[in-house]
Amino acid sequence: MTKPSISRMPNPGEFVPELADISAALFRATGNQSVPRTTINLVHLRAGQIVHNTYLTVLNTGFLRKAGESEERITAVASWQDAPFFTEAERAALALVEATLQPAPHGRERVSDELYAEAARHYDDKALATLTVAIGQIGFFIALAVIGKPQPVTSLAAEQWD
């Protein structure tokens, strides 16, 4: 059965070929093994949930399943704060992406000194920089996903754009 088209735009890479280089550079930067790929995918899944984007949630759920993550962990990302399935380091990473993507309480910073200190307890300087780039990476892809609305896929090799 063929999926109906939901994409709003054709593949932006056809019009901005540099997009492939940017994407590859971001994946290389976050793939330096200082932060587990699973943690990055958990962060990216949570970002997709925060912005209510099916493409990002389906894609990162697929990555996590392919990596062997349990359905309990994948499902609980939406309610990670009270779920028993995440390490303290993963919780710090999830808190960072939430703080980055959600509005700050009135008069307060998005990422408080306390939250930064908590993340720094679990990640060394390189890992914290990598995690920050991973959050920026998903921010970059959020714009493409919410504006362009590519087809939901579980693999980057699948046809995403009409």
Contact 160, 55 (CB under 8 A): yes
CATH number of the domain residue 120 falls in: 1.20.1290.10
Q: Is residue 44 assigned to a domain?
A: yes
Task: Give the integer Cα–Cα distance in Å for 74 and 8.
Answer: 28
pTM for this prediction: 0.93
Counted domains in the chain: 1
Local confidence band at 1 (pLDDT 50, 70, 90 cut-offs): low
Kindly report, residue by residue over 30-74, the tens digit of the pLDDT. 999 999 999 999 999 999 999 999 999 999 999 999 999 999 999
Can you give the pLDDT at residue 59?
Answer: 95
Q: Is residue 4 assigned to a domain?
A: no
**Cβ-count burial of 56 within 10 angstroms (0-12 exposed, 13-18 middle, 19+ buried)?**
buried
SS3 of the chain: helix, strand, coil, percent, to 5? 65, 0, 35
Kindly report, residue by residue over 97-146, the tens digit of the pLDDT. 999 999 988 889 999 999 999 999 999 999 999 999 999 999 999 999 99
Kindly report, residue by residue over 3-14, the tens digit of the pLDDT. 566 788 999 999
Residue 31's domain comprises 13-148
Contact 129, 29 (CB under 8 A): no
